[in-house]
A and B are shown apart, each in its own frame.
Chain A
Amino acid sequence: MFAYHLRLALLSLRRTPVVSLLMIVAVGLGIGVCMTMLSVYALMAGDPIPEKSDVLYAVQLDNWSPDRPFGEPNEPPRSLTWRDSLALLERTPAGIPRTVTVGTGFVVEVPGAQDVRPEIVTARAASVDFFSMFQVPFIHGSAWSASHDADGAPVIVLSRALNERLFGGEDSVGRELRIGNDLLRVVGVIDHWQPTPRFYDLSVGAFADTDEAFVPIALFDRHQQDWGGVSGSINCWQAPPAEGVFHSECVFAQFWVELPDETAVADYRAFLDAYVNEQKKLGRFARPLNNRLSDVNTWLDVNEVVQDDNSVLLGLSFMFLAVCLLNTVGLLLAKFLGRAGDVGVRRALGASRTRVFGQHLVEVGLLGALGGLLGLALAWAGLLGVRRLYVDYERVAHLNAELVAIAVGLAIAAGLAAGLYPAWRICRIQPATSLKTQ
C-alpha cells in the first residue's frame, strides 16, 4: 500500500506544482533557518569530551579582594594564581590525575634551517597529565616524562600542523628547536586535536584553535621573563609586586583534576578547603571559603560559552519554523479539501478512513522529506554565511552527521506536525458527499 500511496503522492505533486513548491519552500526555509541556528547553538553547547566530561573538574579558589567578589553575587575568579596552581599540583593526593595549564606564545626557529622562517606560535605550558586527562592523541613520540614537570628539562611537544611547517611532517622526535636562547628537544607530535569548545582554557575564547606547541610548566616558569609570558587574561585585584605576576595574587592559570565518583569529589573538596584554610593562616584568602569544582559542562555554563545572541536567534528561528509550518498547514488544508470529491469516491469504493489518512500522510511525508532536503541545503548555505559573519566560528559552523540526522528528524517532525491535521480533516470526509454534489 505504501508504494501505491507514494505513487499517488508523486502524482499529486505533479498535478499542483506551484502549491507543492510553495509548501516545500516553506518547510525548507523553516528547517534551513532552524538548522543553521541549531547547528551553531549545538556546537557551542556541545560536549567537547563526552567520554570524560563528567569526571574532569575545573578548580576555582577564591583568593579575591576582601572588599568585593570577583563577580557578583559571590563568584570566585575563573583561574588560579601561579603559586596556588603549583601547590595544588604538588599536593593533590597521589592517584588523582591533575594538571595546571596556562597559555603562552613564543617565537620558534629551526636551528640551521635557512628555508624555514622563524614564526610565532601559540603555545601552552602544561603539566604532563594534561595529555592523558584530555585524551590528546600522539602520532610521534609521547608526552614528556613526569619528572620533567619539576626539573624543567628543555623538551617540547608539537602539533601536527606546526610539525608540518617546521619539519615537513616527518617524525621530528629528537630534533631541536630554538626559542630565545634555548634549544628544546622535540619529544612528541600530537595528531589533529580540537575539542570544541576549547574547554581546558576558555580565557582566550571558547573557539580558539588548540595550541601549536606544549612545554613543561617548570621550563615555562624558568623562562617567564624572556619568553612571551602569559597569553590569556590576567586578572589582579591588587597591583602585582616587583617580582611579577607569577608571584602575585593575580590569576591566570587553569587547574584540572580527574575524579571518578562522588566520594572522590567530596574528598577533593575537603582537600581544597584544608589547603585554603592553611593559606588563610598565612594571611592569604581573606574571603570566606568559596572553592568550586565544576565538571566540563558546568564549567562551560559558568563561562557562558553559549552567547545570549545565539540563544535568542535559536528561539526566534523556532518561531520562524512555526510560521512556516502554519503556512504549510493552510496550504495543505486547502489542497486536500480541494480534493474532497476524489476522496469521497475512494471512500465509496471501499477505502477506510485509515487508508485515506495513510495516503495523505505519505504525501505529507514526501513533502516533508523534500522540504527537509531543501532545508539541509539551505542550512549548509546558512552556515557558509555564518562562517563569513563570525570569524571565530570558522571551525564550529559546520554540518556533521549528527546534525544531518537532526535535520532529517526535524523535517519529518515538522512535516507530520503540519500534515496531521489536514490529513485528519480529509479522512473525516463522508463517502456520501460525492453522491450529493455533482
Chain B
Amino acid sequence: MEIRPILSALLRNRTGPLLVALQVAITLAVLCNAAFIVQQRLAKMDRPSGYDEDNLVTLQVINFGRLPKEAGLAAIAADLGALRAMPGVVAASATASLPMSNAGFGWGFQRTADANDPTNTSASLMLADQYGLEAFGLQLESGRWFTPEEIGTAADFAEFGATLPATVVISRALADQLFPDGKALGATVYDSSTRAPATVIGIVERAQGYFVNNPGVERSAFYPVVIASGESLYYVIRTRPGERAAVQREVESALLAVDPRRILRDVRSFGEIRATAYQNDRAMTITLLTVIALLVAVTVLGVFGLMSFNVNRRRKQIGTRRALGARRSDVVRHFLLEGWIVTTAGAVIGVALAVGLSVWLVSTFDLPKLDWRYLPVGVLALWIVGQLAAYGPARRAAGIEPATATRSV
C-alpha cells in the first residue's frame, strides 16, 4: 500500500516511533536469548536419569556413633530384610550416596595402568549391592549385574579405598568414552589413582551420576561394595507402581521397629531429589519466562500507546481522508501498516542486538551460542503481537466520522 507517505510521516515525528522501535529491539534481543536459555534448561531437565524415578523412595540412616564391621553389616541386612517385607516394596538396596544429589564420589578410570594415561576419564562412582539393579530400576544393556558373592564389604571408606573390588558395572556413556571402539564389556579398566584393575562385567543403558550440572553426569560406574560403618548410608527402595506414597509414609516406622536408636533423615521420593537437583534450572526457567511475559506486555503497551497517540493527534486528518473517500478498512490498514513499519524497524535493530547479547553471554558466561532459528521466530512473534497491539487504535481510527474534517478543533 502507501508505505512511502506513512514512512515520511513517521520520520517527521520520529521520537515516538524511535522509542517504540528501540523497545521492540531490546525485547527481541532478550526474547530470543531468554527463550533459547529456557529451551536449553528444559531439555536439560528433560533428560532421563536411567532410574525408575516414579517408584523410588530414598532415605539416609545416621547411627549414634560408629558400628564395628560385623555389627554394621548385620544391621544393614536386617534393615533391608524389613524393607523388603513391607507391602508394596519390590526391592531395597544399600548404597553410600544418591545419584543426582549433588554429593558423592568423583572417580577417575582409565584403560591402562600408566601414570599419564590420556584415557583418564572422570565418572560418578556409586557403591551397590546385589539388589542395586532392581532397586534402582536400571536397564542392563549387556553383561550382568553383581552376584551376591561378588559384593565386597569394608569397615569404612578408608578400608574401601585400600581394597577396591575386581568387577565394575559402567554406564553406556562411560563405556563410549573409555572404549570408542565399542569393546567395553569384558575389558579391564583401572582406577586412575591406585591403578587397581577391574573387569567390566555389565553395561547399563543409563545411570546419571551425582552432579547434574556437570557435563559428565551421564558417566557413572558401580562398584560391588557395602560399607559397614554407617558413615554415609542410604537405602534405595523401589515400590510397585502406585504404592510409593504409602511406602514413603510407612518406611520410618518400619526401620525404627528394627532399631529405634538412630536418626532417619531425608525420606524422599526421587521426584524430590530431582526437583532439588534441578531447582536452579527450574528457577531460571520460571524467572526467564516471567521476564519474557512482562517484557512482551510492556512492549505491547508501548506500541498501543504510540498508535493511540498518533490516532488522537490525527483525528482531523483521518476525518479528511474519510471525507475524501477512504473506507474504514483503508484506515485500519493504514494504522496496521504504520505499526508494522515501527515493529519491523525495531526488529532489524533487535536482530543485531540479539546477536550482540548472545556474543556477550557466550564470552562472559560460557553459555552456548544462540541458535539462529530463534531470530526469525522471535521477529514473527513480535510482528504478531505488534499487529495485535495496533489493531485496537486502528479500529478506533476507523470509527472517526468523516464530518470531523469540517469541525474546527
- The interface of chain A, by Cβ under 8 A from chain B, is 19, 22, 26, 29-30, 33, 67, 107, 109, 118-120, 180-181, 225-229, 233, 236-245, 307-309, 311-313, 315-317, 319-320, 322-324, 326-327, 329-331, 333-334, 338, 386, 389-392, 425
Q: Could you tell me the distance between the alpha carbons of A330 and B255 in the complex, rounded to whole angstroms?
A: 67
Q: Report B37-64 residues with CB < 8 Å from chain A CB.
A: 37, 62-64
What are 10 A-B contacts defined by CB distance under 8 Å? A107-B65, A238-B194, A241-B158, A244-B157, A313-B287, A323-B23, A327-B298, A330-B23, A386-B287, A389-B283
Binds A, one of B88-96, B168-176, B358-366: B358-366
Q: Could you tell me the distance between the alpha carbons of A345 and B295 in the complex, rounded to whole angstroms?
A: 39
A327 to B23, Cβ gap below 8 A? Answer: yes
A-B contact number at CB 8 A: 152
CB distance from A138 to the nearest CB of B (A): 29
- With a cutoff of 8 Å between Cβ atoms, the chain B residues found around residue A22 in the complex are 301, 305
Q: A311-B365, A327-B298 are in contact. Are A333 and B64 (CB under 8 A)?
A: no
- With a cutoff of 8 Å between Cβ atoms, the chain B residues found around residue A243 in the complex are 158
Other A-B contacts than A239-B162, A239-B194, A309-B283, 7 sampled, CB-CB below 8 A, are: A120-B265, A228-B62, A242-B159, A308-B366, A319-B30, A333-B16, A338-B309
Contact of A319 among B26, B193, B279 (CB under 8 A): B26
- With a cutoff of 8 Å between Cβ atoms, the chain A residues found around residue B360 in the complex are 315
B158 to A240, Cβ gap below 8 A? Answer: yes
Give the number of residues in B that approach A within 8 Å (Cβ atoms). 61
A334 to B309, Cβ gap below 8 A? Answer: yes
Q: A226-B66, A324-B298 are in contact. Are A331 and B305 (CB under 8 A)?
A: yes
Produce 1/0 per residue, B137-164, CB < 8 A to A: 0000000000000000000111101101
- With a cutoff of 8 Å between Cβ atoms, the chain B residues found around residue A312 in the complex are 37, 361, 365, 367
Q: Is B268 an interface residue, CB under 8 A from the partner? A: no
**B contact patch SS:** helix
- With a cutoff of 8 Å between Cβ atoms, the chain B residues found around residue A319 in the complex are 26, 29-30, 357
B162 to A323, Cβ gap below 8 A? Answer: no
A67 to B294, Cβ gap below 8 A? Answer: no
B301 to A390, Cβ gap below 8 A? Answer: no
**A contact patch SS:** helix
A330 to B302, Cβ gap below 8 A? Answer: yes
Q: Report B11-30 residues with CB < 8 Å from chain A CB.
A: 15-16, 19-20, 22-23, 26-27, 29-30
10 shortest interchain CB distances as A-B pairs: A389-B283, A244-B158, A180-B65, A334-B309, A238-B193, A330-B19, A239-B161, A308-B365, A239-B194, A327-B302
Q: Could you tell me the distance between the alpha carbons of A153 and B29 in the complex, rounded to whole angstroms?
A: 63
CB distance from B316 to the nearest CB of A (A): 12
Q: Is B78 an interface residue, CB under 8 A from the partner? A: no
Contact of B294 among A29, A109, A392 (CB under 8 A): A29
